[in-house]
Every structure is written in C-alpha cells, then in structure tokens.
Amino acid sequence: MSSSMRVAVIGNSPPMSYVDESGKLTGFNVEMAHALCATMKIRCNLLPTSLDKVVDAVSAGEMDFAVVSLLATPERRKKVLFSKPYYRSLSIWLSKPSIKPGSPRTTVAVVNGSVQAQHAENQGWKTKRVTNHREISTSLVAGDADATVVPMLTAVSLMEKPSLQALGLESTVLSDPLISGDVCISIHSGRPELREQIDTALD
C-alpha cells in the first residue's frame, strides 16, 4: 500500500461516526471508510471534521474524499463528484406528539450544513443551529428546541437515549424528496479516476 488518502469523516455523529469511550473513532461510516481503503489497497488517514465543512474541504482538495452520509443534492454536485449510492436515507421529525411539522412557535434543532437545516430554512421554520448530532439531544433536553429533523439512523440513535425517551418524543417520516434519497461518497471534482476506484470498491 503505497499511496495515502485524506478521508473526511464526521467526528460526532453517532451511530455513523463518533469517538467512543476509549477514544477510538468508530461507527458505520468509519468502518465503511476502512473497508473501502483496504479494498482499494491504499493507506487512508481519517480526518474528523464537521458536516458544514465537508463539501468545501473536498472541493478545495483539502480532502481526497469523504465518507459522511451526504445526500447527492444538485447543489453539492456542482462542487464535488459523487460515488454510486451505498445506502438510502430518510429524514425524521422528532417531537412530542402535540407538535407537528411546521407547527407555529416551534424551534427545530438542525445540524449546520445538513440538508435538514436547508429544508427547515426553506420551510421558514425557526431553528436552533448546532454543530453536531450530539448537541441535538442537549438542546431537546434543555428545552432550547421543541423538535428536530435528522437522518433516520441518527433518529434511531437519539431515541435510544434515556434522557430523550423521558421526553416522550414521537417520530414522523418527512416525505420531501430533497431530504431523503441516495447517500453517496463525495470525491474531489478533479479525481474522476478515484470515483471509478471507489465505485468498483463499493461493488
């Protein structure tokens, strides 16, 4: 394994990628990144970053590719290349049963740089912006937010927290196609050969 790649992952987005109690970076996307690099026979340096910085970092060439559960939106496709999908995601609204999506005077916690944050802005919702998914549970428990919109797997992880179970939250699948769909790996736009490698490795 001679070549080395800089691979972006999110540092604080359980269960997809996060630092565990022993200080080890782990999670589904971290294991996916390791498996891809092993299959491509390249050395990879996994670099934790925040979601709002990922696309620009890959676009600027600071990262070779990113394994961070990005939906391949038209806006993002203008900046980076995308691999073939490696899973599909839905977006979930979490709140108390009395609070429906779009309810007036509702503050919605969203992660900066996410399609869910863009969706909330497009809907004109009042938002509580946070930098990672762990801060969402803090905002809900503290009452800084009444609801949240997150990817499905993040919603499952949040609902396992006893502090959130105590709030009696319920989940609603949001049907807007702009916040659901194919999750892909983002790749620097000048590296079409790397996209081919990644697609082959995914197969």
The residue that leads in pLDDT, 134 or 135, is: 135
Mean residue pLDDT of the chain comes to 93
Question: Which tens digit of pLDDT belongs to each residue from 94-130?
Answer: 999 999 998 989 999 999 999 999 999 999 999 999 9
Residue 79 confidence (pLDDT) above 80: yes
Question: Which tens digit of pLDDT belongs to each residue from 27-37?
Answer: 999 999 999 99
The residue that leads in pLDDT, 95 or 13, is: 95
pLDDT of residue 40: 95
Residue 1 confidence (pLDDT) above 90: no
Question: Which tens digit of pLDDT belongs to each residue from 44-76?
Answer: 999 999 999 999 999 999 999 999 999 999 999
3 pLDDT band, cuts 50/70/90, is: low
Alpha-carbon distance 78 to 126, whole Å? 28
pLDDT of residue 175: 83
Q: Residue 171 is encoded by which pair of tokens?
A: 């989940």
Q: Residue 160 is encoded by which pair of tokens?
A: 């396992």
What mean pLDDT is predicted for residues 154-173?
Answer: 93
Residue 191 confidence (pLDDT) above 60: yes
pLDDT of residue 2: 47
